[in-house]
Amino acid sequence: MSEVQRRKYSQVEKNSIFDGEFMPHIDSMYNFAYRLTFDEDDAKDLVQDTYLKAYRFINSFEQGTNAKAWLFRILKNSFINEYRKKSKQPAKVDYQEVETYYNSDDVDFQGTTDLRAESVKDMLGDEISNALNSLAVDFRTVIILCDLEGFTYEEMAKILDIPIGTVRSRLHRARNLLKEKLKGYAQHMGYDTDEEE
């Protein structure tokens, strides 16, 4: 992911990298973009912009290294720097929620016994999806990168430009928030939960 070592690829090499290493990730890229923007057209624009940038800066990509992480980093930066400002639907960031969680030393999920693995397994795609979408963008992003896309903590640290320790703690907090949301759904839907009186 180094941008210092610049290469000079021939046109043929550029095409081969673009088709062979970049384009195969289009599904993951679109899914990520859609979960950031919640809008099909915006997601398309974001993915398109990302690929155009990737092509323009292809000389800073080292062939054979982690293209997916490289592309995700560009997409995430495009989203933050350009897209978020002009978005039709501003990302639903609950700053209060972010602040509370960033500023507290340790807010932990106390509801392990209130949410059962079985009720989670029974949930519908929409419920899971809505719970994920309702998280503030920073928390949503780490869950997408880790659980949906399978990036390692080290890759996530590079994509997000944050230390690995921050990846680990942000992920832990994101999962606690997600469990709180899921617990809400589980209770609302009448799934089997242990309700404390």
Partner 1 sequence: MEMNEETSGSRKLRCDDTSKCFELLESILDGEMGDPGKEVLKEKLAKCQPCFEHFHLEQAIREVLKNKCTKQSVPKELAQTIREKIQDVK
Angle between the N-to-C axes of helices 40-56 and 26-37, in degrees from 0 to 180, rounded to the nearest 10: 130
Contact of 76 with 159, CB cutoff 8 Å: yes
- How many residues sit in the footprint of partner 1 (CB under 8 A)? 52
Q: Does 181 bind partner 1 (CB under 8 A)?
A: no
CA 120 from chain center: how many Å?
21
Q: Does 128 bind partner 1 (CB under 8 A)?
A: yes
Site string for partner 1, 39-78 (x = CB under 8 A): -x---x--xx--xx--xx----------------------
Which residue in 21, 135, 179, 186 binds partner 1 (CB under 8 A)?
A: 179
| Residues 192, 194: Cα–Cα separation, whole Å | 7
Structure tokens at 168: 């680990």
Structure tokens at 91: 């990302």
Site string for partner 1, 135-174 (x = CB under 8 A): --------xx-xxx---xx--------------xx-xx--
Which residue in 1, 23, 80, 93 binds partner 1 (CB under 8 A)?
A: 23
